Structure 1
Amino acid sequence: MTPNASSASSAPSRRSFLASSAVAAAAVAGGMPLLAACGDSGSGSGEGTTSGKDAKKILPAYVASNVVVPDIPAKNGSAIGFTSKLDLATLKTSVPKKLGKGSKVTIMSPFWGSPPKSDNAYYKGMNDLIGVDVVWQNQDGNTYEQKLGAVLASSDVPDVVVVPGWNMNGKIPTAIISKFADLGPYLSGDAVKDYPNLAAIPTESWQRSIFGGKLRGLPMPAPWAPSIVPLYRQDIFDKEGYEIPTSCDEFMALAKDITNAKAKRWACLDMKWTAWQAFGVFSGSEKPLGWNMVDGKLVYRIETEEYLEALEWSRKLFEAGVVHPDSKMGKNAPDAGPKFAAGEFLIYPNNISQWWSRTAEQAVQNPDFKIWGMDVWGHDGGDPTIYAEQPAGIFAFVNKKASEAVIRDVLAVANVTAAPYGTKEYMMTNYGVEGTHYTVKDGVPTKTDQGNIDVMNAYVMVASPAATLAHPDFPEVAKGQVEWQQRMGAFTKKSSFWGMQITEPSRYTNLSNDMEQMEDDVVRGRKKISDMQQWISDWKSKGGDKLRDWYKQILDENGSAAN
C-alpha cells in the first residue's frame, strides 16, 4: 500500500533517483531495491562478505505468515499483491499481546518533509500498541549521509539508527560493524519465532542484513524482480492506435511516429534505464551486482558489448530528436509528472511506484488519463535478459551498547512494523489512528490532513513485511504491477553476487565516480562511444583489474548466487 507516497522522479542519476523514491519505497511495505554499495565481512577491516554455510548458522528460521492470504502470491521474485477493498471489520491481529516492556528507545532515521511534533497522536498510538516509548530523532533525508557520518564518528549514538543502502559510503560500513549489536542471539535460527512477523521476512532479505559476519540489520524487504518499468500513456496509445514495441528498432520507429516537436510532443525521456534491460546489461543499481561470470571470467558491466550497444541505442534516440528537450538539459526531475500528464512525452522509465502515484495524481482532474507499464523487450525482438535486484536495501541497526531489555524492545517495535498487509498493526503503522489520521469509504482508506502531517516515513523505516503491493483505491494498478513483475521476473537472472552484502576496499571507493557522467555525455552526444571505451580502459588500469581479482577471491571462497 502506498499511503501518501511521495512520487519518485526521472532524476539524472541513480543515487538521486533512489533517494527521491525512498518515501514511496518505504510506504509500499517493502518498497524497492536501493543502492547499497557497501556491506559486511568476517574480517576486521569489514571488507568482503559472509555467505554459504557461515551465513546459514546466522540466519533466522523462515516461518511463513498465515495471518493474511494475499490475492496474488509472490512469483518470480515479485511482491505479493492485494486487489480487494479494505474492510476494517475483518482486519486480522498479528501481534496478539504487547511484546514491549516499556523501554525508552531513541531512533535516528532519514525523513523527507517536515517532521511532526514529537507528541503527535500517531507516535502515541504506535508506542501504546507496541508497549515501547520510541523517541524519534528525524533527520533531513537529503543531507542524511553527512549527519550519519558525524553521529557514527561520535560516542553519542542513538539506540537505533536507520541506514539506507545508498548512504553506505566512506567510513560508514566500518562504523556499522564497530558500533552496532549482533542480533543473532535474539533472531538466529528458531530464536526469531518469538517475533512471528520477523520470522516471516524472506531469508534472502536477512542474508542482506549480515554485516561483519554478524546479523546486525533489521531489513526492509524488496522484490528481486525488476523495479524499473517503461511507463507509458495507455490512453493516448489506445486513442492513436500506437502498438507496444517488441524490439529496439520498433521502439525507434514508434518514437519517430509519436514525435512532433512543433506540437510540443516527444516520444520519451532518456531511455537509458530501459536500454540496460533490453540489451541484457548487468545491473547498475549496486556495485557488486555489476560483476558476473562470463565464459569463465569475472566481468564488470561496463566491459561488455551489451553495455556499449545500450549506450549507442540510447544515443540514437537523442540524435533522432524523439527525446523531450528537458532530458537533454538534465531537467527531468521537477517536470516529469506534469509534462507526462500534459502529453508532452508518452514514455519514460522509472520506478514501479510511479505507476500508482501518477494514477492517483491525475484521478480527479484528468479522468481519461491512464498510465501503464510496457513489458521489457529484447533488443532484437526476442526475450529480454534482465538481472535481479537486491532483496533488501534499507536497514535499522541497534547500538551495541544497548541493554538486552532495549534490544528486545527494539525487536518488539520491528515485530509490529513488519506486520503484513490486512492486519490492524499494518494499518496503524502505515495509516495511524482511524478517524484522526484516516477514514475509510467504500473500502478505500484516505489520509486526513492530520494524517498527512503525522503519518510519514518514521515507523515504516524500522522493518517491513515481505514486499507488498496493495492499492485499494486502484486495485487494477496493484494487479498490473505484480503481474508485470512476475512476467519480467521470468526473464530475470541472478548475477554472481546477488543477495550478498559486500564492502569494497576503500581504495576503490572513487574508481567509478565519473561513470554516470560519462554515460550521460555519450547518450546526449557530448562524448563518443570511443571516449567511453577509453574511460573503461583507464578504469581497468587505475584499479578495475585489481578489483576484479578481489571480487574473484570472494567468489572462490563463497560461491555464486547466479542462476
Structure 2
Amino acid sequence: MTPNAAPSPSGSPGPSRRGFLASTAVATAAVAGGMPLLAACGGADKGSREGTTSGKDAKRLLPAYVAGNVVTPDIPSKNGSSMGFTAKLDVATLKTSVPRKLGKGGKVTVMSPFWGSPPKQDNPYYTSMNALTGVDVRWRNQDGTTYDQKLGAVLASSDVPDVVVVPGWNMMGKIPSAVISKFADLGPYLSGDGVKDYPNLAAIPTDAWQRSLFGGKLMGLPMPASYVTNIVPLYRQDVFQREGYRVPTSPDEFTALCKDITNARAKRWACGDMKWTAFNIWGVFPGSDKPLWWNLVDGKLVNRVETDAYLEALEWTRKLFAAGYVHPDFKLGKSQATDPSAKFAAGEFLIYNNDISSWYGQRASQATQNPDFRIWGMDLFGPDGGDPTLWAAEPAGIFAFVNKKAPESVVRDVLAVANVTAAPYGTKEWMMTNYGVEGTHYTIKNGVPVKNDRGNNEVNNAFVMIASPASTLAHPDFPDITEGQVAWQQKMGGFTRKTSFWGLQITEPSRYANLASNFEQLEDDIARGHKKISDMQRAVSDWKRQGGDKLRDWYRKLLDENGPAAN
C-alpha cells in the first residue's frame, strides 16, 4: 500500500497538499532526460537572479543520470507515467541499495511541513532512520496548513535550520529570491559525475534536477513527480454498473448523465465541483505553476486566462452548478473545509475530481466496512468528444534546501540522508523510510505492510521530504488499482504536451508576484454563479493593463533568447 496515502483532507477540486504528497512520496516518476535544454537567461533584481538556467549552463550543473538496477518495476514508466509495482513484498528478501552508511554522525536540523500532530523527536522511527543513515536528524516540524507564514518568517530571520523543505505551492512572492540568497550551491557535490557518490540520487530523473536549478545554481533536492496531470475524474464504478450508467465520452454525454443521476429529494447528486476536469477537457494550460500559464500559440505567447478554452471550461462548470447537478456542499463552499470522501462513499454524489492518490485512498478506506465499494478513473476527452489535449505538470514539486552557512560536513551528511530516502521501492531503505520498524510501526498481512496507529503518526511527512526516488505507484493490497492508475497515466500521457516553459525553474520579477492572485477566487465565484463570464473578461483586461502585457514581453524575451523548453 502507498505510504501516507489518504483521501485529501480538503474537498478542493484542485490538487491538494496532502494529496500531492500521497501521490508522490511513494516515489515519484519523471522520465529520465528527454528534455531539450535551453541557454541561460536572466537579469538582476535586488541582488537575485530573474529568469531561468538552461542550455549549456544547465548541462554543466545537472547531475549525471545513472539508472538504478537494484529493482525492476512490474509496469515500466511510459508517456511520463509513474512506474508500477503490483507484487506483494517479502520483507525478508528486500534488496539493499545503500551498502554502507555515508553519514558521519553529525547533527542536522530540518524544518518541514507536517499535517497532523508531530511525533516526539526521539520516537523509534526517527531514531531508526538516524541509525540507518548515520546522521542525527533533528526535526522542526511545522503546521502544513500555515507553513507559508512560518517559512517566510524563518527565511527573513538569521535562524535558518540546516535544511528547509519548500513545497512548490509555497514558492511565491519573495520565497524564490530568499531561496537563492539563503541556501547552498549543491553543484560542487552533485553536478556531473559527482552525484555518482550517491547512487540513489543519480537515479533521480534529470527533469526533476532541472527544476532544482535556482539562480544559476543546483540548489534543491527534489521530490520527483509524474508530469501527467494528477487530477483524475473519479467515479463510483459499483453504482454505475448497478444502475447501468455509461461512462461519458464527451461534455454533452457528461451533462446528460448528470441529469440522469441527480435526484435532490433522494439526496443524490451527480458530481462535485468539476472545474479542474473542465480545464483538462478544454485543454487549458496548467494553473499550478506560473510559467506553465504561458505557451507559444501561432507565434504569439499566450496566457491561459486569455484563451477561449479557459472561458468555455468555466461556463461548462457554471452550468453544472446552475442545473443543480453539483452536491450542495460544493456550492455552499463547504468543500473547502470538509473532506468530501465520506459523502462520496455514501453515494450522495457519484463523480468528483481529486488527486490520483484518492483512487487508492478511497478504496482502501472502504475495504472493511463497504467491501462492494469500487472507485475508478474516467478517461479524459476533448470538448467535441474526441481525444483530449492535455498539458504536462511539473516533474518535481517539493524541494529540500541546505543552509548556505552549513559546513561541508553538514552538507555531506544531508546528502547521505537523501541517498537513503531516495531509495527505490522494494529496497530495505525504502521500507524503513516509508513504513518504519516492523512490529513497531507496521505488520505484514498477506504480504502487505499495514501501518498501525503509531506508524500512521510517526512515519508521516518526514524523511520522504528530504529527497525521493522516481515516481512510483505501489499498492500490493489492491494491485488492480495500481494497474488502473498507471494505465490511466500512460493513456493520458499519450495526449500530453509540454508548454513552452515546462520543466524550468523560473523566477519572475518580484513586481509581478501578485498580479494573478485573484483569478482562482474569481473562477470559483463564476462557477457558483456569484460572478459572470464578463467579470472574468474584465479581470483579464485589467491584468493585461496592470502588468500582464509587460510580463508577456519579459517571458517572450526569455523564449526568444533560448527557444522552447520542450518539444
Q: Which residue pairs with 1:257 in the alignment?
A: 260
Q: 2:98 aligns with which of 92, 95, 100?
A: 95
**Take 1:489 and 1:26, find their aligned partners in 2: how far apart are those partners?**
17
- 1:38-57 matched pairs, under 5 angstroms: 43=44, 44-57=47-60
**Aligned AA for 1:484?**
W
1:26 Cα deviation from its structure 2 partner = 5.0
| Other structure's SS at 1:21 match | helix
Q: 2:512 aligns with which of 503, 508, 514?
A: 508
| TM-score, length of structure 2 as denominator length | 0.95
Structure 1: 5+ residue runs without aligned partners?
Answer: 33-39
- 1:67-86 matched pairs, under 5 angstroms: 67-86=70-89
1:236 Cα deviation from its structure 2 partner = 0.3
**Aligned AA for 1:286?**
D
Matched, 1:492 2:493: no
Q: Which residue pairs with 1:433 in the alignment?
A: 437
Q: 1:275 aligns with which of 260, 278, 291?
A: 278
Matched, 1:111 2:109: no
**Take 1:457 and 1:86, find their aligned partners in 2: how far apart are those partners?**
22
Matched, 1:445 2:449: yes
Matched, 1:386 2:390: yes
Q: 2:28 aligns with which of 27, 30, 38?
A: 30
1:5 Cα deviation from its structure 2 partner = 2.5
**Is the 2:173–2:514 Cα contact (8 Å) retained in structure 1?**
no
Structure 2: 5+ residue runs without aligned partners?
Answer: 31-40
Q: 2:147 aligns with which of 122, 141, 144?
A: 144
- 1:196-275 matched pairs, under 5 angstroms: 196-275=199-278
**Take 1:335 and 1:110, find their aligned partners in 2: how far apart are those partners?**
20
Q: Which residue pairs with 1:8 in the alignment?
A: 8
**Take 2:81 and 2:21, find their aligned partners in 1: how far apart are those partners?**
20
**Is the 2:6–2:357 Cα contact (8 Å) retained in structure 1?**
no
Matched, 1:63 2:82: no
1:178 Cα deviation from its structure 2 partner = 0.8
Distance 1:161 1:436, change over 3 A: same
Instruction: Give the length in aligned residue pairs.
Output: 554
| Other structure's SS at 1:507 match | helix
**Take 1:444 and 1:148, find their aligned partners in 2: how far apart are those partners?**
37
| Other structure's SS at 1:401 match | coil
**Take 2:9 and 2:253, find their aligned partners in 1: how far apart are those partners?**
26
- Segment drifting more, 457-466 vs 19-28: 19-28
**Is the 2:166–2:400 Cα contact (8 Å) retained in structure 1?**
yes
Q: Which residue pairs with 1:547 in the alignment?
A: 551
Distance 1:13 1:345, change over 3 A: closer
Q: Which residue pairs with 1:36 in the alignment?
A: none
1:46 Cα deviation from its structure 2 partner = 2.7
**Take 1:4 and 1:226, find their aligned partners in 2: how far apart are those partners?**
20
**Take 1:322 and 1:187, find their aligned partners in 2: how far apart are those partners?**
53
**Is the 2:29–2:80 Cα contact (8 Å) retained in structure 1?**
no
For residues 123-178 of structure 1, what are the alpha-carbon distances to aligned partners after superposition, in whole Å with 9 as ceiling and x for unaligned? 11111111111111111111111111111111121111111111122222111111
Distance 1:10 1:112, change over 3 A: closer
1:217 Cα deviation from its structure 2 partner = 0.2
Matched, 1:400 2:398: no
For residues 308-346 of structure 1, what are the alpha-carbon distances to aligned partners after superposition, in whole Å with 9 as ceiling and x for unaligned? 111111111112211111111111241411110111100
**Take 1:497 and 1:159, find their aligned partners in 2: how far apart are those partners?**
31
Distance 1:19 1:31, change over 3 A: farther
**Aligned AA for 1:374?**
M
1:287 Cα deviation from its structure 2 partner = 1.0
**Take 2:126 and 2:67, find their aligned partners in 1: how far apart are those partners?**
29
**Is the 2:133–2:417 Cα contact (8 Å) retained in structure 1?**
yes
**Take 2:381 and 2:119, find their aligned partners in 1: how far apart are those partners?**
44
1:74 Cα deviation from its structure 2 partner = 0.5
**Is the 1:291–1:300 Cα contact (8 Å) retained in structure 2?**
yes
1:9 Cα deviation from its structure 2 partner = 4.6
**Aligned AA for 1:112?**
W
Distance 1:489 1:214, change over 3 A: same
**Is the 2:24–2:225 Cα contact (8 Å) retained in structure 1?**
no
1:528 Cα deviation from its structure 2 partner = 1.6
Aligned Cα root-mean-square deviation (Å):
1.5
Identity of aligned residues (%): 73
**Is the 1:280–1:387 Cα contact (8 Å) retained in structure 2?**
yes
Q: 1:166 aligns with which of 165, 169, 173?
A: 169
- Segment drifting more, 471-480 vs 226-235: 471-480
**Aligned AA for 1:206?**
W
Q: Which residue pairs with 2:33 in the alignment?
A: none
**Is the 1:26–1:461 Cα contact (8 Å) retained in structure 2?**
no
Q: Which residue pairs with 2:137 in the alignment?
A: 134
Q: Which residue pairs with 2:37 in the alignment?
A: none
1:405 Cα deviation from its structure 2 partner = 1.1
| Other structure's SS at 2:48 match | coil
Q: 1:521 aligns with which of 497, 521, 525?
A: 525
**Is the 2:207–2:395 Cα contact (8 Å) retained in structure 1?**
yes
**Is the 1:283–1:389 Cα contact (8 Å) retained in structure 2?**
yes
**Take 1:457 and 1:41, find their aligned partners in 2: how far apart are those partners?**
35
1:526 Cα deviation from its structure 2 partner = 1.6
**Aligned AA for 1:501?**
Q
Distance 1:10 1:309, change over 3 A: farther
